[in-house]
Amino acid sequence: MAEATARKRDHGSDEFCTTPKRLKVDSEAESSGNEEELQSDTNILCGFKTTTVLKDSAREKAIFLHGKLDGQEAVVILQKTPITEDTVAEMLSDGSSRLTLEMRNDIYSTYQLQPPAHLNVIKATVVCPATAKHVKKYQGQESFLVEETGEDYRSITLPYIQGQSFSLQWVFNILEKIAEAERIVYEDPDPDVGFVLLPDFKWDQKQNHDLYLIAIVHQRGLKSLRDLTAAHLPLLQNICNKGKEAILQRYGVAANKLRIYFHYQPSYYHLHVHFSTLGSEAPGCGVERAHLLSDVLQNLRSDDLYYSRRSLCFPLRADSGLLAKFKQAEQLERRVSTETPPPTHPHTETSQGALND
């Protein structure tokens, strides 16, 4: 059914008109930050006209669409929300759900369960106006694993980062309380070791087993792991200690149930730390991209310049500008291997998408 939908939407003649229960604007989009106005406009998708299906993930129960919203380029992500214990009780016990038999064989049977409308929710994430970079971000692509030495970072990756127009205004809006202030779970305002902790948009906050939060540092100028030295140990230890404590107090999730890590490469170049539960399948938590905070602390204690010297591996999509730079530098012959990319979660990374890593 998803493939049929994709083929139909590719003709660009269809229009979505729906009243979503949830409406989030991806934090990578440069918006005004007026969330009350956005959340009150529940008919916004009535003006969305699809031109292309960027990706259709049956595993994630999500579809990524590119089109026009009131004349502007837009990306819309539609995703089924998780089933929670509360919704299960209501769906199965009050008689308002419709059950249709599909197949029965001995002790096994399958059904189509149609829950009441208020339980059949689809989360809608809107990026508008969307740039060509947003469209590329959400489009399905083959991935390659790149091994980057410290010298590669300085001669290839860093110049590439510095030459791109990656906007961090949405990050600064959060840090300065211009936007999303009501979503902040915890803040240490110290300019050197402080941070804000808030839920990633990929977590719907209905249940804690897939908890996912982001700690964004107040200190500016730190782009990624590569910038960290032993001088940043107080900052990292503060995030570790106070982040765990805040999550325990707010959500009742103990530290030994948390995965705390960095992405490399990150999806945006302002230092941030991911907090997710061990049971969640957060995007980018695999070994090819995630670096545990506990390992980072230990490495920096043993070697002040560990992350400026060592080689780091990370996946790049086939259409990545950075991958093209590695090809131009003739570094791919010995440092790239192809891999089958796993299905990715919407950023909505997130993402925010975004905080959309």
Residue 181 carries which DSSP code? G
Residue 279 carries which DSSP code? T
For the annotated binding site for substrate, the residues are: 170, 180, 200, 202, 263-274
What's the pLDDT at 146?
93
Q: Quick check: is 218 catalytic? A: no
* Whether 254 contacts 307, CB under 8 Å: no
What's the pLDDT at 271?
98
Q: What is the pLDDT along the chain (357 residues), one digit of tens a residue?
A: 333 333 333 333 333 333 333 333 343 333 444 444 445 556 778 888 888 888 887 767 889 899 998 888 999 998 888 777 777 777 777 677 888 888 888 888 888 888 887 778 888 889 898 888 888 778 777 889 999 999 999 999 999 999 887 789 999 999 999 999 999 999 999 999 999 999 998 887 878 888 999 999 999 999 999 999 999 999 999 999 999 999 999 999 999 999 999 999 998 999 999 999 998 888 788 899 999 999 999 999 999 999 999 999 999 988 888 999 998 887 665 554 444 444 444 333 333 333 444
What's the pLDDT at 224?
97
* Whether 200 contacts 174, CB under 8 Å: no
* Whether 297 contacts 261, CB under 8 Å: no
For residue 266, the surrounding DSSP H or E stretch is: none
Catalytic one of 66, 232, 272, 347? 272
Residue with tokens 């049956």: 58
DSSP string across 195-263? EEEEE-TT--SS-GGG-EEEEEES-SS--SGGG--GGGHHHHHHHHHHHHHHHHHHH---GGGEEEEEE
Give the whole-angstrom CA distance, residue 190 versus residue 213.
20
Q: Which of 83, 79, 94 is nearest to 21 (CA)?
A: 79
Pinpoint the alpha helices (H) of the chain: 2-9, 35-40, 85-93, 132-138, 150-152, 158-163, 169-175, 233-251, 293-302, 306-309, 321-328, 332-335
What's the pLDDT at 333?
56
What's the pLDDT at 42?
60
